[in-house]
Amino acid sequence: MKRNGQESISPMRRVEAGSWQIWAKTLKNGQAALILNIAGSSSTITLKLSDLGFTSSQKLTARDIWEHIDLGILSGDASMSFTLAAHDSKFISFVSQ
């Protein structure tokens, strides 16, 4: 599908581990990840950037979209952990340097 003359790529579920899921969508200059805690209690969820297709040679700027907070510069083989309340989520963008 094309939108505004560009190919549109649908989000894909990258990781599912029982009570949580990570969905990702390729962007023009990186990726966005939606981390979902579908459990009825809080959970600590670890996102491995390699699960999103990044490699150790890549440098990325991470940003929490909903909190409007820069999370720093990471290498593509890094991981990030988030503690999410029951039925909570995080929305993170990763932009290539």
Supply angle C-alpha 3, 76, 19, rounded to 5: 75
Q: What is the pLDDT of residue 3?
A: 46
pLDDT at position 63 over 70: yes
Comparing 65 with 17, the larger pLDDT belongs to: 65
pLDDT at position 94 over 90: yes
Q: Give pLDDT tens digits for 17-48.
A: 778 899 999 888 889 999 999 999 999 999 99
Domain containing residue 21: CATH number: 2.60.40.1180
Longest dimension (CA), the chain: 43
Distance (Å, whole) CA 94 – CA 7: 19
Residue range(s) defining the domain that contains residue 69:
2-96
Q: How many domains in the chain? A: 1
Q: What is the pLDDT of residue 17?
A: 72
Q: What is the pLDDT of residue 60?
A: 95
